[in-house]
Structure formats: structure tokens, C-alpha cells
Structure 1
């Protein structure tokens, strides 16, 4: 269909079968009640449904990456491209910090369409026991399609990191998710988040320090099914402070749009209450 109609249909069709979507909606409503007790029942239900629509449209994005930001696909407005362009002109390697928030690939893709060659570092896919064969195949196609458009390399964290460091030092850019999380992660740092502590890996800040490269942060906001806004911001030179800034903004964004964060299913593993709340 050579129009944006599929992105509207995606929300109606859904990412999973109807019964599974109903169970997920019920789970999300309970989670939002736990995390946002002052929200109304109507708000919590709407957030849950909007979350499911967002996931379905993100899957549509992944299936038609070549149409994002182009004729026949969702429009993408980019704010802050000048920060990326400055580093490109300096031939300065950098890390583009992302989070599991809203339409996941949009910001990286939008920057690639404007001229950024972007490499991608993700968690393992093929050897990930938490994924089904169908999910693995989908993710492989998704990342490979993105890498072709972004003219970059794809590596996973179970591969050697020396090529990544060498690439950064040679002036290339890498996109990495700051809120990636798995039970086996051990090198974690805590961040104030929604009244408690969010525990996240320290890999990005250690990588930036070791390679001696700056970081930029990009966030996507859905202003409609086919209207997307990307905001790019600079971060402090100190890698630890840079990630602190990223997570502070993530907290503000999640408070503003709870439906847009992907990790509600892992909330109890990633987050702990403050000592006062735990008593």
C-alpha cells in the first residue's frame, strides 16, 4: 500500500493476537496503577492501549524502514541535527545514546537519512534464549535493514569490543541503548527514577571514557501515527554525568508519556523503591 494507511491499520491489527493484547493491557493497567497511583482509571487504560498501538506501529516501521521519513511513509521532523553535523565535520567519533522509548529506530534512522553513517551495538540476538525463533528472525531482519540504510556495521555485546573502540577512535559513530537490561548484567549503576532507583549497565559510560569520545542523546516523540519528532541534544563531557543526564530526561519523558516506555514488563527487575517506600 503506497500510502501511510498501513501505520493506521497496524494499531487496529495489533502486534499480537487479540487475547494476548487483552492480557497485556490488563497487566499494564495494573503496573500504571502501581507506579502512578494518582492517575485515573481512564488515564491508565488509555496509556495501556496507546502503548500497544505504539508497539504495533514500531513493528510496521521495522517492516518498512525504507519508507520512514520519505514519500509514502511517516514524516520525521529533526531538531538538533547541527550537533551531529558538527561532529561529522570534525571527523569525531561519538556514541549516539538511545533508550527503549517510543518508536525505537526513528531517531537513528532520521539522522542516517541526513548523512550520518551509524554503526549499531545491541545485545545478542541469535544466541538469546529469551527470544523465540520468529522473534530472532524478525530482529535480525530489522537490524540488518537498518544497517544497510545507515551504512554501518552491526555488532552484539557477546562479540569482541576491540573493533568498536577502534572504530570510535577512528571517527565513526555508534548507536547504543542506555536502558538495555538483562538479568545476567552485573556492572550496574543506580539512578533516581520515579521515586526509587533504576539500575542500569555502565557499559556506555565506560566505553566513552576508554575511547575518549563524546556522546549525543536522541529521543523520538510520536505526535501522531505518521508524524514523528526527533530531538538531539548534547551531553556533558564527563561520561558518568552524561548518562545521568540521559536518565533524568528519560524519567521526565516517562512521567509525561508513560505509554511510550518499553520496559514496564521488566520494572520489578530493573527498579527498586527508595528505603522510605520499602518500609
Structure 2
């Protein structure tokens, strides 16, 4: 479907969805119940609307993954970039940096938009080839997605399984790296609690430790889909202190999730990442 001309594939994706008709209804009901727990007091119609929007957004992101080269170009969704000069100045001065994203909305639009503005970035992800939880079709899809993404951003792909020495050296050499703050796995051991939606979100501390050891600045980027064919990317500076920087990233995420709950990807991990009471650092 991503081969169809204009922004039509992104509009169709929301109607077609990722799930079969049999799978879709149970997923919608599950999402509605989860939204009701996280945001009590809203109407059943509101929860249902958020659930449908969530599945539509994930389907549209799958089209992104097959057509990164069309984002912000003729024949694809329109992309407005605000704050791109922040990355340009860092690259121009030979300063490496970490671009912090969250699993929010059409998240990979931001690095692609920056690449269009002359700011190439590399990306650090979880393992794909050695991830036993992925089926063969899922693995093939992700590898194709990563290939298209790195071609569009002009950078390279590195996984946590490969170690961080190359990332550390690259940052010090003046390159930019994209890392997700709200990535979560059950085996993560070094977590920190952040106030979030009346409880605490437990996130890994890897980004702040990497920034501390390399001394590089951090930026954050958020994508807001105004409609399937119109995306806005906002890039902002973060505090120099890495811990304060990640605190600000999570505060931005909380603000955005309150305004647009459907746009956060991580609801499926809610019961693992979020607790009502604060847990000691390092223990989710």
C-alpha cells in the first residue's frame, strides 16, 4: 500500500489497520478499559475514540516505515520542522549530541526531518536479529524498516547487544545519536522512577549515564500528527545536567499523553512500566 501515490496510503491505513477484523475488536475493548483506568471520569465514547485513534496511528507508522523517503517530500505527508537549527548548530560546530525521543506518535519522522535539514543521526535500538520474541515476518519487517530509515537519515544502526563503545566514541567525534527514553524491557535493572499520571513511570538510566560519560548535550524531538498527511516536528534543547534533561523529557511526555493519550505507543507495557507507589531506584 505504501507504493500508492500521494498521501493516500496514510489515510487508508487508519481504516484498514494492522489487525484482522477478528483481532481488532478485542484489542479495542482492551484499550478502552486501559484508558478508563488511566483517565477515570471520561465518557465511554471518549475511550472508544482514543482506542480507534491509537490503532490508526500505529497503522500509519507502518506506512512510514515502508516509505521514509516520502516523508516531507512530494507524494508523501507534509512535515513542518521547528527547531531544526539547534541540530544544525551542533553539527556545524563539530559537537556530538543525543536526540532523545519517546514512543509517541509518528516518532521517527523527527530524525528524517532533521536529515532533510542537513542533520544526519545514527540510531541505537534494542536487538532485532537475536530477539527471540520476534517472529520471522516481524524480524523481516523491522530489518526492512531499519534499512529504509538509515538510508533516509544518513546514519548507521547500532544495537545495545553490540556494546556502547562505538556509540561513545562516535558521540565524542561529533556525531548525533537517536535514543528512545521510554524503551522498556523486563530485564532492565537500572531504572529510575519519574512522576507520571498520578503514579511513577520507571525508565532506564542509560541515556543520562551515556550523556554524563561523554559530556555531550541533549535535544528532544516530538512529532505531532495534525492529520495523516500533515506532521509537525518540534525540536527543543534540554538542560545540561543529564538527570534534569531526562526529567524534562518525561515531563514533556506526560503533558503530551494527557493531551493526546492515543498517541503513546507504550500502553501495552503500562502495568510493567508504571506503578502507583514509587519503587526504589533500580527496582521496577
In the TM superposition, what are the counterparts of 1:37-186 in structure 2 within 5 Å? 37-186=40-189
Q: TM-score, normalised by structure 1?
A: 0.97
Which has the larger displacement, 192-201 or 5-14? Answer: 5-14
1:273 is matched with which residue?
276
Residue deviations 1:19-66 (CA, integer Å, cap 9, x gap): 212111111000000000021111100000000000010001111111
Which of 224, 234, 238 lines up with 2:237 in the alignment? Answer: 234
Residues paired across the two proteins, number: 275
Deviation at 1:181, TM superposition (A): 0.4
In the TM superposition, what are the counterparts of 1:192-271 in structure 2 within 5 Å? 192-271=195-274
What do you get for the CA RMSD once the two structures are aligned? 0.9
- Report the Cα distance in structure 2 between the residues aligned to 1:107 and 1:271, rounded to whole angstroms: 26
Deviation at 1:14, TM superposition (A): 0.7
Deviation at 1:274, TM superposition (A): 3.0
**Gapped regions of structure 2 (runs ≥ 5):** 279-284
- Report the Cα distance in structure 2 between the residues aligned to 1:27 and 1:211, rounded to whole angstroms: 42
Deviation at 1:104, TM superposition (A): 2.1
Moved over 6 A (4+): none
Residue deviations 1:180-217 (CA, integer Å, cap 9, x gap): 00000000000000000000000000000101100000
1:24 is matched with which residue?
27
User: SS of the counterpart of 1:158?
Assistant: helix
The 8 Å contact of residues 121 and 154 in structure 2, kept in 1 or not, is answered as yes
**Gapped regions of structure 1 (runs ≥ 5):** none
Q: TM-score, normalised by structure 2?
A: 0.95
Deviation at 1:240, TM superposition (A): 0.4
- Report the Cα distance in structure 1 between the residues aligned to 2:152 and 2:267, rounded to whole angstroms: 30
The 8 Å contact of residues 67 and 148 in structure 2, kept in 1 or not, is answered as no
Residue deviations 1:38-95 (CA, integer Å, cap 9, x gap): 2111110000000000001000111111111000000000111121111111110000
- Report the Cα distance in structure 1 between the residues aligned to 2:130 and 2:47, rounded to whole angstroms: 36
- Report the Cα distance in structure 1 between the residues aligned to 2:195 and 2:38, rounded to whole angstroms: 14
The 8 Å contact of residues 67 and 74 in structure 1, kept in 2 or not, is answered as yes
1:12 is matched with which residue?
15
